[in-house]
Amino acid sequence: MSKTDITEKIVSLCKRRGYVFQSSEIYGGLNGCYDYGPLGVELLKNIKEAWWREMTYREDVEGIDAAILMHPRVWEASGHIDNFSDPMVDCKECKARFRADQLTDTDCGNKGYKGRKAIKCMEEGKFTEARNFNLMFKSYIGPLEESSSVVYLRPETAQGIFVNFNNVKEASRQKIPFGIAQIGKSFRNEINTKNFLFRTREFEQMEMQFFVNPNDDNKWFEYWKEKRIEWFYKYGMKKEKLKFYEHEKLAHYAKAAFDIEYEFPFGWGEIEGIHNRTDFDLKRHSEYSGKKIEYFDDQTKERFIPYVIETAVGASRSFFAFLCNGFEEEELVKENSDGSTSKEVRTILRLHPALAPIKAAVFPLVNKDGMPEISKNILNDLKNYFKVFYDDSGAVGRRYRRQDECGTPYCITVDTQTLEDGTVTVRERDTMSQERISKDNLLSYITEKIKFKI
Ligand code: ATP
């Protein structure tokens, strides 16, 4: 199966099962924007929750939720007004628009040149000169479109953290080293959006800025680098699909930068950046706002501007990585009633149970003999704790297949034996193994498996 086929299969599964839809689809779609469907919203929420637990349920990290719209001076201080741009070129022939620094990896936009890379068109002189294009979406506060009322949709969540450094430090009485974490929407007017959720114009980020004594920056950089890759492993990412990439060319504010890359069907791509941003941001905000932003260590009597170790991960981009990581088409050999065999393909989303949208599905084997009532009772009991799905239509095998595609880790079937001894079968998604357990033990059995804290 080609790599493009895999992406297409995932996109199609996302639509079929209600993970992701194109934004404004009935109007022909809006490029670079996506809507999360009933299962997608659960998976995204679970990813964010897993990150939030990991990053903020510790003594030295606090959470915030800053406004998307911020004072326009923030973006002058951060350097986004001057530097947050990509070089853009237009093809004079087919009118397609490209990022000039990505031409080797980008397909030519002209339908008549299938398989050709845009760099070739550049070499043949088909492109305009590169010009810089600022990626921030601009709007205006109030009814007048004048320069004094300009606002931007934030292109990253980090700045909401920097400008609140003093507030959080004082309110929480944290001592350095400590971090501030935030999850939220960011917006970038990307020149080319491609590869489904990988590069979109509206997306969610999960960022944490850890403020340290400048003398300790290397130690904390190493600490967070390891912590972050471990988080992906913990939620089931295959080790061979993740790697670190070290930036040689650093941003003007950075002292060190590593990306965690995932091997998507279309190639390796960044899912998280771990950066040593030095004291650049706090210094600049202090300078631009005229407010003192610094730290006084009352033990050592040192006064300094903290360095920042940043961990910045895309919630939506890692959502896509988790889908790619879990997607599998397994070939099964089926024995037919006449003794012959045939092949069947089982599509599975092997999502970590803690991330899976639906934790368990409940099936009555048949719609009679009290089985639906027992099944409904199980459903009503479990749904107080996590998302459960009820399905009584079609053969049980078909119901299993549907849940495999949705990524549901456990399917519970109520059958004739349940009527006699109160046990049910629990079938596990990945191994398809079945266990009989008492229906009264279902809650503890599943919560233990999904490590879901009640
Ligand atoms: P890229 O080089 O891919 O444009 P970046 O280096 O600009 O990304 P950062 O500014 O470090 O990205 O943002 C941190 C994370 O936010 C990225 O690792 C990625 O997961 C996510 N992210 C950034 N831009 C987008 C986007 N357009 N769509 C989806 N996720 C994004």
Q: What are the residue boundaries of the structural domains of the chain, listed by start?
A: 3-69+154-323, 358-453
d(CA 141, CA 99): 30
Q: Say how many Å lie between the CA of residue 257 and the centre of ligand 1.
A: 14
pLDDT at 4: 61
Residue 178 vs residue 132, higher pLDDT: 178
**Which residue has a Cα nearest atom 22 of ligand 1?**
314
Stated pTM of the model: 0.92
What would the DSSP string read from start to end of 272-327? EEEEE-TTHHHHHHHHHH-----EEETTTTEEEPPEEEEEEEEHHHHHHHHHHHHE
**Which residue has a Cα nearest atom 21 of ligand 1?**
314
Q: Counting atoms of ligand 1 from 1, which one is nearest the CA of 205?
A: 16
Is ligand 1 within 6 A of the CB of residue 7? no
Which residues are registered as beta bridge partners of 335?
341
Q: Counting atoms of ligand 1 from 1, which one is nearest the CA of 188?
A: 27
pLDDT at 387: 96
**What are the backbone dihedrals phi and psi of residue 342, each rounded to the nearest 5 degrees, phi first?**
-140, 160
- Evaluate whether the domain defined by 3-69+154-323 bears CATH number 2.60.40.10: no
pLDDT at 454: 35
Q: Counting atoms of ligand 1 from 1, which one is nearest the CA of 190?
A: 27
Q: Is the predicted pLDDT of residue 420 greater than 80, yes or no?
A: yes
d(CA 33, CA 31): 6
Instruction: Find out whether 312 and 154 touch, Cβ atoms under 8 Å.
Output: no
**What are the backbone dihedrals phi and psi of residue 303, each rounded to the nearest 5 degrees, phi first?**
-120, 125
Q: Which residues of 50-86 are buried (b: 16+ CB within 10 A; e: fewer)?
A: bbbebbbeeeebbebebeeebebebbebbebbeebeb
Instruction: Give the model's confidence band at 164: pLDDT under 50 very low, under 70 low, under 90 confident, else very high.
Output: very high
Gyration radius of the chain's alpha carbons: 26
Instruction: Find out whether 44 and 184 touch, Cβ atoms under 8 Å.
Output: no
Q: Is omega for the bond preceding 177 within 30 degrees of 0, making it cis? A: yes
Q: Counting atoms of ligand 1 from 1, which one is nearest the CA of 270?
A: 18
Query: How far apart, in Å, are the Cα atoms of 193 and each of 30, 31, 130, 432?
Result: 11, 7, 18, 38
Is ligand 1 within 6 A of the CB of residue 56? no
Among the residue ranges 29-38, 101-110, 164-173, 364-373, the one predicted with the least confidence is 101-110
d(CA 153, CA 218): 33
Instruction: Find out whether 361 and 411 touch, Cβ atoms under 8 Å.
Output: yes
Tens-place pLDDT, residues 100-138: 888 888 888 887 888 888 888 888 888 888 888 889 999
d(CA 177, CA 243): 27
Choose the CATH number for 358-453 among 3.30.930.10, 3.40.50.800, 3.40.30.10, 3.30.70.3460.
3.40.50.800
**Which residue has a Cα nearest atom 6 of ligand 1?**
273
d(CA 173, CA 62): 11
